[in-house]
Amino acid sequence: MDGIALVVFLAVVVEKVVEIFKDIVYAIPIFPDKFRPLTLEVLSLACGLLLAFQSGINALELLDVKIINPMIGIGITGLVIGKGSNFAHDFFHSFSKNKKSLM
């Protein structure tokens, strides 16, 4: 599978996992209302980071960005995955548009 397609696929998986846990988080009666969205956001980012590190996918490497430590690229990829498929699409679309204008 193409690397960028894998990032978008994993972002969709994270969105669906968080959607499942959304009902659980909102069903907990002792949990304050103001912390529920934050809990879902943290869960989303944690799932994204976990999937990125487990798959070893580095979006910066896919985009030909040279970095010394590849773990930073994997971490950034995890954050992109954790933010969801729309964010991942926008991230790659804007990066590829900027890359074309530099050439």
In this structure, what are the phi and psi dihedrals at residue 28, rounded to the nearest 5 degrees?
-75, 115
Cβ 57 vs Cβ 6: under 8 Å: yes
Give the single-character DSSP code of 86.
H
Query: Which three-class secondary structure state does DSSP give residue 66?
Result: coil
Whole-structure pTM value: 0.79
Whether 94 shows a pLDDT value over 80: the answer reads no
Cβ 81 vs Cβ 52: under 8 Å: yes
Residue 3 confidence (pLDDT): 80
The Cα 76–Cα 2 span in angstroms is 18
| pLDDT tens string 2-30 | 887 888 888 888 988 888 888 888 888 88
Q: Is 46 exposed, middle or buried (0-12, 13-18, 19+ CB in 10 A)?
A: middle
